[in-house]
A and B are shown apart, each in its own frame.
Chain A
Amino acid sequence: GPKVLQIPSHQIIDMGQMVTLNCDPVSNHLYFYWYKQILGQQMEFLVNFYNGKVMEKSKLFKDQFSVERPDGSYFTLKIQPTALEDSAVYFCASSLDRINQAPLFGEGTRLSVL
C-alpha cells in the first residue's frame, strides 16, 4: 500500500546545529503532520500543514521549529538551533482529507542531539 517515507532514519548532530528532517508523504495526500515521541512514550502533536500553511501548532512547536513543503516535494521539519531536549523520534504523517481518512505514519526519524 501507499507509504510515508522518512529520511534519514537516524540523525546525530551537535547541540546548536541546524537539522532538517525530510518526509516524503503519499503522493496525493494534502494534509501533513509532525509528531514527536520520546523513548516510546506518548505521541505528541507538533504541527499540521495544509495548502502551504501551518494550520495548527502545539506548545512543543518552538520558535526554533519550522515546516515547509516547497514545490510539492518533501515536507520538512527544520530545527535551528537544536537543543538537547529535541532528542526524540519524529514521525511524519499524511492524509488525503481532514475527516474521512486516518493519517498514515512514516517510520520515524530518530534525532540524537549531543
Chain B
Amino acid sequence: AQKVTQTQTSISVVEKTTVTMDCVYETRDSSYFLFWYKQTASGEIVFLIRQDSYKKENATVGHYSLNFQKPKSSIGLIITATQIEDSAVYFCAMREGNSNNRIFFGDGTQLVVKP
C-alpha cells in the first residue's frame, strides 16, 4: 500500500502568492517523522522542513510552513510569497519511528511559479 500520497500532479501560481501542496500518509506507528524536499530543475534534492508526529505546533522555516492535521494523516506544505525560483518538484516523505530508517516518498507535485 502506498505510504505517502500526493494527489496534485502539478500546480501553477503567480509569483508572490501563497500555495498549498497536499500530502497524506499512512502508518501504524505512533511515532513518525514527516519531511518535505524539493527537486530543482537540475535534479538537486533539497531538504526543506520537517514535522515530528509528537509535536503539535506546525513547523515553520522561512517562507515554508506545514499544516499538520494528525487525525487526517495530512501534512500540507504552505509556501508564502512564492518566487520564480520556487518552481520545482516538491516531495513529501515519511519515516516511521520503528523503522530501520527507510524514508518513503510521495510521487511529487510539480510547482510552476509564473511572473
Contact = CB atoms under 8 A, between A and B. Distances in A.
A107 B101 contact: no
B1 to A, nearest CB: 14
Contacts, number: 58
Contact of B33 (A31, A48, A58, A99): A99
A91 interface: yes
Contacts of B45: 43, 91, 105, 107-108
B105 A43 contact: yes
B37 A98 contact: no
Contacts of A45: 102-105
Interface residues of B, number: 25
A55 B100 contact: yes
A107 B42 contact: yes
B101 A50 contact: yes
B30 interface: no
Given A40-B89, A43-B91, A99-B33, A104 B104 contact: no
A56 interface: yes
Contacts of B93: 43
Interface of B: 33, 35, 37, 39, 42-47, 50, 89, 91, 93, 97, 99-108
Interface of A: 31, 33, 35, 40-45, 48, 50, 55-56, 58, 89, 91, 95, 98-99, 102-105, 107-108
